[in-house]
Amino acid sequence: MGTTVLERPAESAAGEDERVFVTLTVADQLCGVPVQAVRDVLGEQAITRIPLAPAEIAGSLNLRGRIVTTIDLRRRLGLPDAAAGTPRMSVVAEQGSELYALLVDQVSEVLSLPANTFEHNPPTLPPEWAAHSLGIHRLADRLMVVLDVARVLALAPEG
């Protein structure tokens, strides 16, 4: 229904020592997507199922006249589906010249974090998550998994 265009902080404002993320939630797990990878944030949208598409493809949506492939991040990460009727949001990213929407449970805020708090994936991170993650940031009250948008959008196994 609604479309939100994110205001991206100027590079000099973030500086070399900070990283800026759009934060989102998938199955109660806080995740971050680098802000430069995000084109739009969308509220609940009508998604048309694509016959014979892989399970992680939720379908397609219409974004200002462009057809956008929608990837269900829960399925991509090996998680159970959201409860029926639960409103979900989409984070739109661009890969090459194509737009893709990542279907998530909630989009929260834009968060700027010191680069020195970034850590590589811990060995306890489930393999499905580690395969799509750049690493983590430990926040005061929880862990934020930094998603690698290129890996999330790579539907064919890398080899």
What are the pLDDT digits (tens) for 126-140? 999 999 999 999 998
Contacts of 64 (CB under 8 A, 6+ apart): 3
- Residue 133's beta-bridge partner residues? 147
Residue 129's SS3 state is helix
CATH number for region 17-153: 2.40.50.180
CB 150 within 8 A of CB 158: no
Which of 28-32, 40-44, 92-96 is least confident?
Answer: 92-96
Distance of alpha carbon 99 from alpha carbon 35, whole angstroms: 15
| Rg from Cα positions in the chain | 15
Q: What tokens were used for 75?
A: 């399925």
Mean pLDDT of 26-36: 95
- Give the pTM: 0.83
